[in-house]
Amino acid sequence: MLDDFFIRAVIAGIGLALVAGPLGCFIVWRRMAYFGDTMAHSALLGVALSFLFGVDLTLGVFAVGVLVALALLLLQRQESLSTDALLGILSHSALAVGLVLVAFMSWVRVDLIGFLFGDILAVSKSDIVAIYLGGALVIGLLIRFWRPLLAATVSTELAEAEGQRPEAMRALLMILMAVVIAIAMKLVGVLLITSLLIIPAATARRISLTPEQMGAYAGFIGVIAVVGGLEASRQWDTPSGPSIVVAALVLFAISLILPARLRPGANR
């Protein structure tokens, strides 16, 4: 069964969507969408550096993602520029430096388009193993730390006053994001990763009553987007990564026109 490239793509995509949904909820709740984008863009720099130093690609992307998150934390401490300006600088610098580095390395042939937009149809069995191992780790940590993660999201100050460690939770989220970006890059590409984190979560918001529901629904909505998008790309011969994002967008649009009574929480 796994010998069919399309089946492999579906299985890989489902694994990613199940992780990206719940994690994406935190990104939406904490208004970290632009931060996620920055980390995703830095993945290309990670690719370039991995080639340069001959290390494993996934590992290199993860490491650079964590470094960019640290750089942002340090720059934020200076209180000189607003966070969104800092993110704008980091995000596009990392992307540009990555592109320039790749161009310099004439000895490696890099499928740039593949890294920018992903190539889910090219996933190997070992990629699938990496996705499900990484995914299980992320989901496991999310479940283990769900309550303190949520408390830190609602109010850092309240969580800390009542004996929790919201700063550690913030660091944990950043690491989890770096993991997801590292495993998602091959599938949907650095430019589209954040859409898989954010669009299913935003779609789930309109039908959820509790944070836990929203996390679970976001995962399933992501799965529907992956299957639908891949099916559509086979049908109409469209690029697979962007097709998945378009499918997610369609689901989001449908959620917008849901009648109010189908949305719990809209009225008491």
Site membership for another protein, residue 167 (CB under 8 A): no
CA gap 171, 154 in Å, rounded: 16
* 3-state secondary structure string across 201-261: HHHHHCCCCCHHHHHHHHHHHHHHHHHHHHHHHHHHCCCHHHHHHHHHHHHHHHHHCCCHH
Q: Using CB under 8 A, which residues numbered 171 to 230 contact another protein? A: 202, 205, 208-211, 213-214
Among residues 226, 200, 53, the alpha carbon closest in space to that of 131 is found at 226
Q: Using CB under 8 A, which residues numbered 17 to 76 contact another protein? A: 28-29, 31
CA gap 203, 21 in Å, rounded: 10
Identity of the amino acid at 68: V
Q: Which of 51, 99, 160, 220 binds another protein (CB under 8 A)?
A: 160
Least distance from C-beta 149 to another protein, angstroms? 11
CA gap 193, 66 in Å, rounded: 16
Site membership for another protein, residue 237 (CB under 8 A): no
Complex with another protein: residue 73 or 158, whichever CB lies closer: 158
At 79, is the secondary structure helix, strand, or coil? coil
Site membership for another protein, residue 268 (CB under 8 A): yes
Using alpha carbons, list the distances in angstroms from residue 173 to 23, 49, 136, 236. 8, 24, 15, 37
Site membership for another protein, residue 161 (CB under 8 A): yes
- State the number of binding residues for another protein (CB under 8 A): 29
Least distance from C-beta 101 to another protein, angstroms? 37
Q: Which of 63, 164, 171, 249 binds another protein (CB under 8 A)?
A: 164
Among residues 137, 233, 244, the alpha carbon closest in space to that of 187 is found at 244
Q: Which of 71, 121, 141, 150 binds another protein (CB under 8 A)?
A: 150
Site membership for another protein, residue 159 (CB under 8 A): yes
Site membership for another protein, residue 83 (CB under 8 A): no
Binding positions for another protein, rule: CB under 8 A: 28-29, 31, 147-148, 150-151, 153-155, 157-164, 202, 205, 208-211, 213-214, 265, 267-268
